[in-house]
Structure 1
Amino acid sequence: MKSYLDFEKPVAELQAKIAELRTLGEDGDAVTIDEEVQRLEAKSQAALKELYASLTPWQKTQVARHPERPHFVDYVGRLIQDFTPLAGDRLFGEDQAIMGGLGRFDGEPVMVIGHEKGADTETRLKHNFGMARPEGYRKAIRLMETADRFGLPVIALVDTAGAFPGIEAEERGQAEAIARSTEACLNLCVPNVAVIIGEGGSGGAIAIATANAVLMLEHAIYSVISPEGAASILWRDAAKAQDAATNMKITSADLMRLGVIDGVVPEPLGGAHRAPEAAIAAAGEAISRALARFSNMSPEQIRDERRRKFLAIGRGL
């Protein structure tokens, strides 16, 4: 059964009527209902198109967090051939919130790293809802350094509310691990492409998203803090999250205009969760175009361009 967001209530009601009519048809009702179903389907699509043409930042936040959006494992399953997962940071242990490994993209060897939130209660607990501990970022560093050593491009798929804020994470050096991972991104002499596929939350995202090309899915969000967290700090009221989302400029359109990201990947009508295969295919094409731009650049040029890009952010504002 499809899960509808609060602002999608008009579409949900139309779909409920369509389902009811189809059930009547299956029960052998004498009344011909095909024309009515087609009319309601057209009306539902028109309503969905109208809704998604003017989403507010808070509504985009809800879409970015939709539990049925495709996750890291879905992208890897469709875009990466011969994927071989690599585990552990060689210092403390394995963190399941960040996954990574070797594989082939468009037939060429690559290193893939990304957040995995999980798709149901069991897997969400296993992957800690995509919130990585220090060992997750140290694993990412290890994989990036391996990729650099063997000349493999790095693809990062970002989807996290932020790094795990628990006491044990702080005890094991969360801030240092995030900083080192960001530094590892900047030091790469191979091209790296990051795609914000859902939420790009705070340092937990930028730790693997400091890339030559930073792309965002159309309805993804990317921010220094969650809207709820910002509202709690600024107004001492998490209920003002909608106001925070609007003022923080967290949408792909805002961030493209500000020069924080390098491209927006269009999503199917109604969001990536409605047509996961199409959304993943569009992301794959965007990654392929981004990597092609660096094919004739030297390792030093690749690294220097990335550093200049991040130094330039905000200078023209």
Structure 2
Amino acid sequence: MIQSGFAPRLLAWYARHGRRDLPWQQDPTPYRVWVSEIMLQQTQVRTVIPYFRRFCQRFADLPDLAQADQDEVLHLWTGLGYYARARNLHQAAGRVLAEHGGRVPQQLEPLMALPGIGRSTAGAILSLALGQCQPILDGNVKRVLARCFAIAGHPSQAAVQRQLWQLAEQLLPEQGCGPYNQALMDLGASLCSRSKPDCAPCPLSGICSARLQGRTAEFPGRRPSKALPQRACRLLILRDEQDRVLLHRRPPSGIWGGLWSLPECPLDEDIAVWAGRRFGVKLESVEQLAVVEHSFSHFQLQMHPCQTRITGGTLAVMETELIWYNLGQPEKIGLAAPVARLLARLQAQLQTSG
């Protein structure tokens, strides 16, 4: 059977070519592996490495993270995207501290009960940090299994998902489960890439159904394509006499949940009228800036930034909702990445004009 040769081939390849110098592999505690696995969801290794190092330098262990302010957590996550991951990680760390004495659960069910931890992430934590025999099924692993066993359909489909999980369980070796899981992820991230897989040096080339049939491009099946919906918003850069910028905290759910952003004025409203009604302020003339486009996984956002100066009124900044952001001495808060870029651009302009 193909299954009997799968793990030995993979482990032999990993012994020669596997990655062992990733920062979370140097001290693979459950906490560090957990942080890395959350960061690696939908994000490439080379992008994650500097974020992981900064994050673990500030939050060296779980109590550090659990007791931190969410703003600081989101600040260190700024630019990594998918911010719900950071909020869930922070919330889960608090629960581990409160419910498990600060010790990451070492069983599958209580680990999966924490926010943001699914079956594959839990399996990765338990196998990579503790050597337990648990399957994983991240995007790289799905691709390797779908090709090797010619599993038709897109991995997000329930029937395909069940088939892949069944294979993942059946293929687990009795020993060396941690290196085996790492080998699967490494193979998918390197040779068995999404496009143009490098089959010649692949340890599974002799048993890979997709390669033997000349159909590697067909597996895994593609998600049915559909055009992303378009959305638009207007972002206001409201500056005071000290050139501080008004920011507001976004709701905890939805895009940029919990992050600080620029106020949004509806596109069909007069900016001065809206700002007067919303903040009780008067404005100078408004300057329209260049449109900024930002892509999310499920829609395209077109941002229309406008900048102006507040000339009067009685704005009451509430600590939990609004802050004045000093461009020259920025606070350690979580900013939506496009907003951070707009503020950096404004700071550069002010320095040049000053």
TM-score interval (norm. to shorter): under 0.3
Q: TM-score, normalised by structure 1?
A: 0.25
Instruction: Name the larger-Rg structure.
Output: 2
- Structure with the bigger percentage of helix: 1
